[in-house]
Amino acid sequence: MSSQPLPVQTDSDAPASAALLARAAEVIPGGVNSPVRAFRAVGGTPRFMASGSGPWLTDADGKRYVDLICSWGPMILGHAHPDVLTAVTEAAAHGFSFGTPSENEVRLAEEIVARVEPVEQVRLVNSGTEATMSAIRLARGFTGRDVIVKFAGCYHGHVDALLASAGSGVATFALPDSAGVPRSSAGETIVLPYNDLPALEAVFAERGHEIAAVITEAAAGNMGVVPPAPGFTEGLLRVTKAHGALLVSDEVMTGFRCSASGFYGLEGPYAAGAPDLFTFGKVMGGGFPTAAFGGRADVMALLAPLGPVYQAGTLSGNPVASAAGLATLQGCTPAVYERLDVVSHAIAGAVANELTAASVPHTIQWAGSMFSVFFRDGAVTSYDDAKDQDTGAFRRFFHAMLGQGVHLPPSAFESWFVSASHDDAAVDHVLAALPAAARAAATPD
């Protein structure tokens, strides 16, 4: 894998994307359908993509980029993978949606249950947000309690009760973190520092009888990759079980990405038992809008039509999306996970070497093949640590990489993703871009 300097492109080289953004802004708030796509954290013009193939994206101006976003995780096999494409076209040829049960959703559910040992049953939904929302409702229905505990920096979708920030003390009820979220919704959520077991124990000592569930990312990926400290997950299990609360492990990002059975497959099984509920998304949909929540059969039995907890969705278990997800999971062989490790470590190691050579403070953290580059010295164990980094250095690094045909996540608080399709040519392209990007990061505006 060699490194050769590459020409730097500027935003003036993206006129078609700029024109599309202007059009989009007339009919879509901010011109995007998910905020991080707007490039507000890094500035400049977001690239409108026209196609993807393997590890490459091609934008509306015809420029190609090595993709290190991978649709925020789902494209674990690469874009337009032939086996997934075949599964999708064959399913679509039989009909797009029926509004009835179909075999594809059963097959996808069976695949998930077979991969994650504590998951006895699953319910398919349409998004990670819907999965976490439904899991929280189910936990409340099962326990008869209302209060939810979450951790600062962990993102579980745009659910009212989970769009909450910490109040004036670690044991206080939360405050809304978005306009439009009622104080009453956020007021049923307690936000604690991530990786802080003493804070959790103190909250349960005071309010354990009110708490329905603790929800946590299996390994945090939405403040950058921040894995649970040794013993943290065990502590969550111990405390929740002692107080009759449930533990919800959010594997929307890590599920089937970190291993064949997600982060649970790396860290579990646990001496203290297993999480009661899991949420999944991204990889299990292969790029299509599908997700799931599942867990213990006795908890899942409370869902309608068997029980009193209502949850429904017209497109849940969509046959085409289920076919894409099943083909993707079946394609995630041991060789795929080996390639993800090789590629991610080659890129991360080269990033570290170039940033070190340019005297740019940095820390790289991992969850399986997921990794983040924090522009600071020292380990990141909490959201406060993650916020304590040089976002200006990241912005300069990002644009230098983008100008050389490498598309990173457009935020310093996100995970980097690779796919099994990232071949040596794609990796070499990334490595060649790094020296100039490291120098840019080291040069203040």
**Catalytic site residue from 250, 276, 385, 390:** 250
In angstroms, the CA 135 to CA 70 distance is 26
423 is catalytic: no
User: Cα dist. 356→353, 412, 435, 437 in Å?
Assistant: 5, 18, 11, 12
Residues 6+ apart with CB under 8 A from 184: none
Catalytically annotated residue among 59, 65, 155, 276: 155
Phi, psi of 392 (to 5 degrees): -65, -40
Residue from 133, 103, 436 nearest 291 by CA: 133
Residues in the chain: 445
Known catalytic residue at 387: no
Q: Please identify which of the residues 282, 337, 385, 390 carries the catalytic annotation.
A: 282
Establish whether 282 is a catalytic residue. Answer: yes
Question: Which residue numbers are catalytic?
Answer: 155, 250, 282
